[in-house]
Amino acid sequence: MTFNINKAIKKLVSIANTSSQGKCALHVRLALDAGGIEIRPTLGQAKLYDPVLSRYGFKLNRYSKGVLIDSSSCKNYSPEAGDIAVIPNVEGGRPEGHIAMFTGKEWISDFKQRDMWGGPIYRKADPDVAIYRFPKDSQ
């Protein structure tokens, strides 16, 4: 299976809103489709992409909470273009959780985010985050 990260990022950037519309899973799925990864049946909830992305060739790269990266700042994690963060639901947040892709310069879900978290509720809760990366040798 191959994945064209540039096509995926181009699609995601082209459909990004200025603020959240509650459609992060849809937008990331459309980007994946554009890059050649068609996840079927489609997933309506962001949190369900963990561990489904593994079935499509993505490798689980990092979890937070100090297992592999510093959970409070993620300073030990350097995102790469095409990385996908899958965040579970947290108290006060959306029950579907959150998902976003890194473009090489910013995180985008259905909007351009200021960081990986996608909002203050997730940032404050600091939940475990699954980071998926497609292997370079498979692109």
pLDDT tens, residue by residue, 7-20: 999 999 999 999 99
Rounded percentage of the chain residues whose pLDDT exceeds 70: 88
pLDDT at site 33: 98
Whether 95 maps to a domain, the answer reads yes
Asked if residue 91 belongs to a domain, the reply is yes
User: Does position 64 have pLDDT exceeding 80, yes or no?
Assistant: no
Give the pLDDT of residue 128: 83
Residue 139 lies in a domain: no
CATH number at residue 100: 3.90.1720.10
> Does a structural domain hold residue 108?
yes
Residue 20 forms part of a structural domain: yes
Q: What is the pLDDT of residue 127?
A: 87
pLDDT at 67 over 60: no
CA dihedral sign of residues 58, 64, 67, 70:
positive
Evaluate if residue 37 carries a pLDDT over 50. yes
pLDDT attached to residue 86? 95
Residue 110 placed within a domain = yes
Average pLDDT in the chain: 89
Average pLDDT over residues 62-88: 70
Round to whole Å and give the CA distance between 39 and 127: 25
Model's pTM, two decimal places? 0.90
User: Residue 102, SS3?
Assistant: strand
State whether residue 132 is helix, strand or coil. Answer: strand
Domain that holds residue 80: 5-134
Query: 5-15 and 24-34 helices cross at what angle (nearest 10)?
Result: 140
Q: How many domains does the chain have?
A: 1
Does the pLDDT of residue 41 top 80, yes or no?
yes
**pLDDT reading at 112 higher than 70:** yes
